[in-house]
Amino acid sequence: MVSIKFVASSLFLASSALAHFRIVYPGERNATNWDTQTTGPCGGANRVVEPRFLFKPEGSPLELTQHHSLSIGQVRFCPGEDCNTQEDFSVILLDSFEQTGAGNFCVPALSIPYKTGTNGTIQVTYTGLGEVAGEYDNMYNCLDITVSDEGASFSGQCFNSSSSVISPIKLDSNVISNATNITVLDSYFSSTKSVAATASASSSSRDMAGMDMSGMDMSGMSGHSMTSSKAASATSSASNTSSTSVAGAAAITVGWTGAVALVFAALA
């Protein structure tokens, strides 16, 4: 069995100019039409592509590549011939994960919990930083498969980029109750941006606190400047509150049926 090492990632955020991802292996419905990739459930490509790829029930390789500095992903499945709405993709094959840094993510054995002969569609969703700072995009792509013992086993078809870090994400169980996958990704992505922003403000406040002010002329400072100082202090307090909230988030067990199984520990 091939193992994947998940490393804790930082919450540093930077803007990205490329809002796309690809299903490099074994293939995808939408390989070129970037303009519609933000349209669910399959990036604007809503017709089945034949021939279908063969996937072993115990798992065949899947390789993703994306171009964002930070993104949240998930892989779902719709059994059957008609997979036209987001609600049709009700089976989670790979639960939510954070990908820090652009690059490739290899799943050596993405198992399909259905009997051989079953047709269906795999959906990959990413929520990633958009072209405008502070905004993000929901992106979709799909591939059509048949569950078959003739599907590929892992033999080096994909790899993990050294530039990317993959981490299971941690969400409060109340957040994910009765939520769609995109709602979950939006909620978590928004929370990471908020925590990163307050942490940055807190760091700036601590830097100011350590400055030697004895040689500075304070006579020209306005009341507005003093108010800004109080605001920085309030932001630092908010940061501590946010950190406590995230640290208490409940762990989620991610089911990679068969070959891969992960259990998340709570944030340290």
Type of residue numbered 180: T
Structure tokens at 125: 């969703």
**In this structure, is residue 245 part of a structural domain?**
no
pLDDT of residue 117: 98
Beta strand 21-25 with 60-66: parallel, antiparallel or unpaired? Answer: antiparallel
pLDDT of residue 113: 96
**In this structure, is residue 127 part of a structural domain?**
yes
**In this structure, is residue 89 part of a structural domain?**
yes
Domain that holds residue 112: 21-180+251-263
pLDDT of residue 8: 28
pLDDT of residue 218: 37
| C-alpha closest to that of 99 among 199, 197, 185, 3 | 185
**In this structure, is residue 5 part of a structural domain?**
no
**In this structure, is residue 217 part of a structural domain?**
no
CATH number of 93's domain: 2.70.50
Count Cα atoms within 13 angstroms, Cβ side, for 20.
Answer: 12
pLDDT single digits (tens) 159-191: 999 988 988 876 555 555 455 667 667 776 776
Low-confidence ranges of the chain (pLDDT < 50): 1-18, 177, 199-200, 203-268
Structural domains in the chain (count): 1
Structure tokens at 59: 């798992």
Beta strand 119-129 with 70-79: parallel, antiparallel or unpaired? Answer: antiparallel
**In this structure, is residue 51 part of a structural domain?**
yes
How is residue 194 annotated by DSSP?
H
**In this structure, is residue 161 part of a structural domain?**
yes
pLDDT of residue 172: 55
**In this structure, is residue 219 part of a structural domain?**
no
